[in-house]
Each structure stands twice: as C-alpha cells, then as structure tokens.
Structure 1
Amino acid sequence: MDRKAKIGDAAIEVIAADGMRGLTHRAVDRAAGLPPGSTSYYARTRSALLDLAAERMIALDQVEVTPPPGSLAEFLGAVVYASITEGRTRMLARYQFALEATRRPELRVSYDAGGRLLRRRCAEVLAIAGSSAPEAHTRVLIGWLDGSIFDALAGTGSRRPPTKDELIEGARAVLTGLGLAGA
C-alpha cells in the first residue's frame, strides 16, 4: 500500500473514532504509525486531508461494487453485512462526511462524486437484473441499503444488528417490491 493510501485509511479511522473535530494531521500520523509531519507532506491543509480521505473511500468503494454471479439479494445482504461488520469503521466515517458535507460545500463535491459513482453502478446492476426503471429503483434500493446500515451502526437497531440471513431476506423483499423477485 502506498503512503497516500495509508494516510487516507488512517484519516478514515480517526474520523470514525473521533469525529470530524478529532481529525488532525498529528492524529492521522499517530493512527498511520508515521513520523510527525508525514501527513502534512501529502495534505497541507485540513481541507486537503478531508479530500484525501474522501478519495480513499471512493477508491475502496470501487473494489466492492461488482456483484458475483448468483442471487442479487444474497449479494446485497452480504454487502450490508460486510458494511456493519468489517466495514464498520468506513461506514461510520462516511456518516460523519455526510453530515459535514451539509455544512461545507467544498466537501459536498467529493462526497457527491462518490455517491454518484455508487448510484450509477447500482442502476447498471438493476438494469441487468431486469429493472424496468433502474434510476428510480436505485433510489429505493440505496435508501434500503443506507437505512439498514445506519440503523445497525448508529440507530436503535445497533442494540441487535441484523444477521446476514435477515439482511438477505430484507434485500429479497425490496427486490420483490421493485418487481425483481427472481434477482
């Protein structure tokens, strides 16, 4: 892993653990196990550091987007399950970014760029699965995905997060409602 990616990963960890207020160059240096000043070499300002973390989240998302052959419901359930287990840190950081982007237009640009990429890929997958209205169905599906993840990590559902099987059944119900029962 190159140093910029390592710093991006560490920034995501800091944001997830300490929120946006905890994001400092020193905190990222510590989290990355780098000598003091290393982060500021790659991201001079706090804004540049936020951009670097956002770019890293987008890059990581690109790796996880392609569904394998088989049931779309199983794939979606597995994606949500992975997001609330091994992807927990990144998802918590993503929610911090979402809230911060409502107040900072320059961050909104990066945040929305990542969201558009995910939505475009989701629409492509739904079209392949036989959706009659992929863009409209994407809005519904993303709502279920985001809502399920948020509830399991930060909502009332965090007291008893759903199992992978429960998430697969939830995905199946959403897909059935979209007229994609066989997906």
Structure 2
Amino acid sequence: MVPAEPTRTTQLADAAIAVLAEHGMRGLTHRAVDRTAGLPIGSTSYYARTRAALLELTMDRMVELDFASAGAEPSELAVPDIHAFGELVAGLLHSMLTTGRVRMLARYEFALEGTRRPELRAVYDRAGTRLREPTVRMLRAAGAPDPQRQARTLVAFCEGILFDSIAGVNRENPPELAELLAGIRELLHGMLHAD
C-alpha cells in the first residue's frame, strides 16, 4: 500500500519541528517554515495565521508522531502484561532517541520557552497530559498500587534518559534498546513488586 501524501498542515508542522530543532524558538517564523517546507512564502500564514496557531499546530503534530511511534492512539494503547509494557516503553524511548531525535530537540525548545510564556505552557501541558494519561491507565491495569504517582516516576525516568541522551553528557553515547529495556524492566519490577 502506498503511503498517503501528507496534508499541507502536516507538511508545515513537520517543517516547523525541523526549524525549532535547528534554530530554536527565535528562529521559528512563518517564513522559515515556508522555506523549510519548500512552499511559497505565505503558505504557513494561510494555515496558521498567528504564531500561537503555528505553535499549537507544531505541538499537536509532535504528539501525533509520538503516538505513531507507539503504533496506537492514546485510547487504544494497551499492553497484555508488564513485560509487554516494558517493551513498549523501551521501544518508544529508542524511537525518540533515533528517528525522533529532532522532535525531542524541538520539544525541549518548546518546554523552555513555555517557562516564560504562559500561553505556550498551556499548549505544552495539554500535550503532556495526553501523553501521560495512557501511562497511568497501563500502570493501573498492570496492578500498580499507586498508578498516578508511579506514572509520574516512570515519565520522569524516561524524560531523564531522553534529556541525558539528546542534550546531556551522554548525547554521543545514547543507550541501545537492550539497555533501555533493562532499565525500564528494573523500574517497573520495583514499582509492581515492592513489599
């Protein structure tokens, strides 16, 4: 089956992610997105009239790509057992460290700017909630005694690995899938089998 052609908004959002990752928040302009997408000047403005609309379009696309990496929409994410859960999480981390690296750099730019601009923080937090809710649900299904708190711990662990491997001291030596899986399994085992 031939993959569907990307929509114009998808094309623009992907270009905005690339611009954010390469040039930071200050470099993200409608014209820069037009150039990166290879489209006529004014194309981005047609679909996202304001900078806020462009940022929201970009964050929505990042979340969409995250769920595409998982192979399911948030409501459909489910795992039959804790081993499958560990494999899902490790696979997502590995994907974000490899094919999703640019997206993660863009996300960091977005997160930092959100600390200074409340309207961005709201967009970022909404996206974060969409990503965290399935984690709580899957931990609950796996028998976690405090899934809300434990989801926070699991997400923080994952975010630490990602930051260390993309922007931190281990950016030249990111973990392989097997190492990620071992770490996730250790963490999940501790959460679910603690006395």
Q: Normalising to structure 1: TM-score of the pair? A: 0.93
What runs of 5+ residues in structure 1 fail to find an aligned partner? none
Render the CA deviation track for 1:125-146: whole Å, top value 9, x for unaligned: 1111111111011000000110
Q: Tell me which residue corresponds to 1:125.
A: 138
Q: Tell me which residue corresponds to 1:42.
A: 47
Q: Tell me which residue corresponds to 1:51.
A: 56
1:148 aligns with 2:161: yes
Q: Tell me which residue corresponds to 2:125.
A: 112
4+ residue stretches of structure 1 with deviation over 4 A? 67-70
Distance 1:164 1:123 in 2: 23
Q: Tell me which residue corresponds to 1:179.
A: 192
Q: Report sequence identity in percent.
A: 49
1:85 aligns with 2:90: no
What runs of 5+ residues in structure 2 fail to find an aligned partner? 1-5
1:84 positional shift: 0.4
Distance 1:85 1:103 in 2: 29
Equivalent pair of 1:130/1:180 in contact (CA under 8 Å): no
1:60 positional shift: 2.5
Render the CA deviation track for 1:81-117: whole Å, top value 9, x for unaligned: 1100001011111111110110111111110001111
Matched letter for residue 22 of structure 1: G
Q: Normalising to structure 2: TM-score of the pair? A: 0.87
Render the CA deviation track for 1:148-174: whole Å, top value 9, x for unaligned: 111110001112111110000010111
- How many pairs were matched up? 181
Does 85-94 or 69-78 show the bigger shift? 69-78
Say which of 3, 22, 25 aligns to 2:8. 3
1:180 positional shift: 5.0
Distance 1:58 1:80 in 2: 14
- Aligned-residue RMSD, C-alpha: 1.6
Distance 2:95 2:78 in 1: 14
1:95 aligns with 2:108: yes
Say which of 17, 20, 23 aligns to 1:15. 20
Distance 1:22 1:45 in 2: 15
Distance 1:164 1:138 in 2: 21
1:33 positional shift: 1.4
Equivalent pair of 2:79/2:138 in contact (CA under 8 Å): no
Distance 1:158 1:58 in 2: 23
1:45 positional shift: 2.1
